[in-house]
Chains A and B, each alone.
Chain A
C-alpha cells in the first residue's frame, strides 16, 4: 500500500526532529550535571570576596603591603584585595565623596581628624576582635599603649586599629649648619626664639627672595604643629568642657605675633607660599636647614637620597618651646587608623578585619622599612624600636605631647586656624583681629553641634 503524501511528510518530519533515545539520555545527563554543579558554582561565586583598600601614597609601605596582600590571598583562597593609592591630600575628599554615594571601599585609613566624622555618623563597623586575631576587646586595649585607642572608641565600641601614630620633631641638616658657620652639636634650637635667631643666620636672601631657609613650618597641619605652640604659652583651642573656643587670648596673640614676624611681612624667614620644607629636606640641596617631620622621614631620606642618609650629616632634635612657656608641650601626635565600612556585607567586614589583623601583625617591619610606629606595647619595648635612629627623641617628645584635637568638625577648625595664621603672615591682619575672627568661627563650629 502506498503511503499518502501527508503521512510521508509526517514520518520524514519525525525521522528528522523526533528525539532519539540516545539524545534524550544525553540531555538528561547534561541537565543532571548542571543541576548538581549549580549549587557548587553559586557557592563558589558567593565565597569569592573582593576587598577594596584605599590608602595614601607611600612607596615604602606599598612595597611591603603588596607582599602582605599576596600572602593573605594565598592563605585565604577566594579572597582578593584591591589596594588603591591616592595622594594623601586627596584622600579625605575622595573617601567622603565615595561614602556620600554609598560606594565607599571596604577599608581605608585617614588621619583621625578626618576620620572621626565617619565614626560618629555610624559609617564604620566595630572591630571584629576574633577576626583581627584577639581573644577579646580588652585584649586589644591591653596590646596597645594607653590612650592611643581613645580617638577610635565611641560609645564603648572600638572602631579602628592604628596603622601609625606619628609625632613630629625637628630634622636638622648638619651640612647647612656648618655652611652657615654654626655647630649643630651646640647650636641647635631649643626654644622658638632660638629658632628665629638660628634661622636668621642660616637664611640667604637675594633681596627679599629667600634662597635658603633656616627652618619652615608644615603649613597645612595647624592642629598638629601650631596649636601646641599656643598651648605652651597657656592657651587652649577648646575649653575642657568643649563649649568655649579659644582660651587665653594673651597666649594666642603671642603665638600669632610670632607667626607674623616669621612671615614675609616680618623677619621674612619663611612662608606657606614657598615649597614645603619637608619635601626639600631629603634632597640636601643647601636650601633648607631644618624641617618638621615624623620618624617615617628617615626612611624617605634613605630611599630618596641614600648618600645623605648614610653620611650621618643629619639629626633629629626635640620640638622647641617658647622661653616663657608655661606648659611643656611638644607637637601633637596623630593617628592613621584602619577602619572598615559598615555598609559592606558582614562576611566582607569580617574578612577585612582578618586582613587588617594580618597586616598589623608585621609592626616591626612597618617600623624598620617604613618608619611607622604602630603603638603596641610589644613594639615600643622591642629592640627594633630602640635601635631605630632617633626613636628615643620621638618617644620622649610623644610623652610631652598629646593626641591632636579630633572631632566631627576638626578639619573645619583646622582651616579656621589656617586662615588666622595666613591673615597675619600674608594679608597684613593684626593678631587681635585675626584672633577675633578665629574665635567667632570656631565658636560657631562648636555651637553647630
Chain B
C-alpha cells in the first residue's frame, strides 16, 4: 500500500509546479472572465430556481387553494404541523426512503461494475457505452409506459421470468402486489439511469493516469488487488458524486410512480413524496400544503447536497 502511494504524491507535486508557472494577474483576469461567462446562467438560475424556491417557502405559510380567487390566509407553520401529524405523509416518507435506498445502492454498485467492464474491453467499447446509455435519453414517461405494458399480467415480464424459472402460468403480480410494485418501480428506474452513471464512472476511471496502474503492475500487483487498492480509492470522488447524484435523482422520482398508479397499481406502497405533492396540488387544489411538502423535500435534498460537498472536500485525491 505504501509503495503504491509514492507515484500518487509525485504526480501531485508535478501538478503544483505547473500551477506556479501562471502569474496571479493572469489568474485574476481569467477569473473575471469566468464571472462574465457564468453571469447569464446565474441570472437564469436565479429566475427559474431561486424565485420558485422562495415563492414555495412563502406559499407554504398560507392556506391557499389553487382555484380560489380569495386572498390566501396566513397560517404560519400549520401546514408543516399538519404534514408531520399526517399518516399519509409519513407513508410518503417511507415510500421515498425505501425507493431511494432500494434503487441508488444497486445503481452505484452496478454502474461501477459496468464501467469497469466497459473500460477493460479491447473492442466494442463505444457499442457498450451506447447500449448502456441509450435508456437514459428516453423520456421518463415513455419508459414508464413501455414497462407498464411489460408488467401487464400477459406481458413480457411474466413470460420472461416464467421461461427462466420454468414456472409457466405464474403471475408475478408486478403491479398487483404491494411489495412487487415497489420492486417494479425500482427496476424501471435502475434500467433507465444505470447507463448514465456508468458513463460518469467511465470518465472517472479514464482520468486515473495509466502510469499508476503500470507502476503497480511492475510491483507485481494483480488486477483484483489493483482494483481494490488503487482504482477504488482514486475513484472515491466519482463514487461520492455518483452516489449523491443518484440519491438526489431517486428522491425526485415521480413519473414512474405516477404512470403506474394511472395504470391500476395500488397507490399506497409507491406514494412517494413527489406523487403525494402532485396529488395535493392538482387533485386537492391545496397549493399551500403542497408547497410545504416541496420545502420539506427540498430540505432533505439540501442535506444530501451538503453531504456531497463535505464528502468531496474530505476525499480529495491527487495523482
Partner-B contacts on A (CB < 8 A): 89, 93, 96-97, 99-100, 117-118, 121-123, 205-211, 219, 263-264, 271-275, 409, 411-412, 415, 418-419, 422-423, 425-428, 441
Contacts and interface: CB of A to CB of B under 8 A. Distances in A.
A285 to B, nearest CB: 12
Interface residues of B, number: 35
Secondary structure dominating the interface of B: loop
Interface of B: 65-69, 88, 151-154, 158, 168-171, 173-178, 262-269, 279, 282-285, 287
Nearest to A205: B169
B283 A411 contact: yes
Contacts of A263: 176
B268 A423 contact: yes
18 contacts: A93-B282, A100-B66, A121-B67, A123-B67, A208-B153, A208-B170, A210-B153, A273-B153, A273-B176, A273-B264, A418-B267, A419-B266, A419-B268, A422-B268, A423-B266, A426-B176, A426-B266, A441-B88
Nearest to A123: B67
A100 B266 contact: no
A99 B266 contact: no
Contact of A264 (B67, B169, B171): B171
A96 B282 contact: yes
Contacts of A272: 176, 264-265
Contact of A89 (B158, B177, B262, B269): B262
Nearest to A99: B67
A412 B176 contact: no
B171 A219 contact: no
Contacts of B264: 219, 271-274, 422
Contact of A96 (B66, B68, B153, B158): B66
Given A264-B171, A273-B265, A274-B264, 11 more contacts: A89-B262, A96-B285, A100-B67, A206-B169, A208-B153, A210-B153, A412-B283, A419-B266, A423-B268, A426-B177, A428-B177
A426 B27 CA distance: 64
Given A409-B284, A427-B178, A273 B170 contact: no
Contacts of B154: 209-211, 274
B152 A427 contact: no
Nearest to B267: A419
B178 A428 contact: yes
A427 B65 contact: no
A273 B284 CA distance: 25
A415 B152 contact: no
Nearest to A271: B176
A274 B287 CA distance: 33
B152 A273 contact: yes
Contacts of A208: 153, 169-171
A398 B152 CA distance: 34
Nearest to B70: A121
Contact of B169 (A117, A209, A415): A209
Contacts of A409: 284
Contacts of A426: 173, 176-178, 265-266
A-B CB proximity, top 7 nearest? A207-B169, A272-B264, A208-B171, A422-B266, A121-B67, A427-B178, A273-B264
A89 B65 CA distance: 22
A274 B267 contact: no
A359 B269 CA distance: 46
B67 A96 contact: yes
Contact of B283 (A273, A415, A419): A415
Contacts of B174: 273
A118 B263 contact: no
A280 to B, nearest CB: 11
Contacts of B65: 121
Contacts of B263: 273
Given A208-B171, A418-B267, A419-B266, A275 B152 contact: yes
Contacts of A121: 65, 67-69
B63 to A, nearest CB: 10
A89 B262 CA distance: 9
B171 A207 contact: yes
A207 B168 contact: yes
Contacts of A96: 66-67, 282, 285
Contacts of B266: 419, 422-423, 426-427
